[in-house]
Amino acid sequence: MAHHVTLLPGDGIGPEVTSATLHVLEATGVEFEWDTHQIIGTAAVEEERPELPDDVPASIRERGVALKGPITTPVGEGFTSVNVQLRQRLDLYANVRPCVSLPGIDTPFDDIDLIIFRENTEGLYAGIETYDARLEIADSTARVTRRGSERIVDFSFDYAQKNGRNTVTLAHKANILKESSGLFLKVGREVAQRYPNVTFNDRIIDNMCMQLVMYPQEYDCIVSTNLFGDILSDLAAGLVGGLGVTAGANFGDDYAVFEAVHGSAPDIAGQNKANPTALIRSAVMMLRHLNETAAARAINTALREVYAAGDVLTADVGGSSSTTEFAENLAERVEEKMAAQA
Active site (catalytic) residues: 125, 173, 206, 230
User: Beta strand 247-251 with 221-224: parallel, antiparallel or unpaired?
Assistant: unpaired
* Share of the chain residues as helix, strand and coil, in percent rounded to the nearest 5: 45, 20, 35
Distance from C-alpha of 227 to C-alpha of 141, rounded to nearest angstrom: 12
Contact between residue 15 and residue 67 where contact means Cβ atoms under 8 Å apart: no
Single out the residue of 63, 71, 69, 70 nearest to residue 35, CA to CA.
Answer: 63
User: Beta strand 221-224 with 113-119: parallel, antiparallel or unpaired?
Assistant: parallel
- Of the chain, the end-to-end C-alpha distance in Å amounts to 18
| Sheet with 113-119, side-by-side order of all strands | 32-36, 3-8, 65-68, 256-260, 247-251, 94-100, 113-119, 221-224, 167-172, 199-204
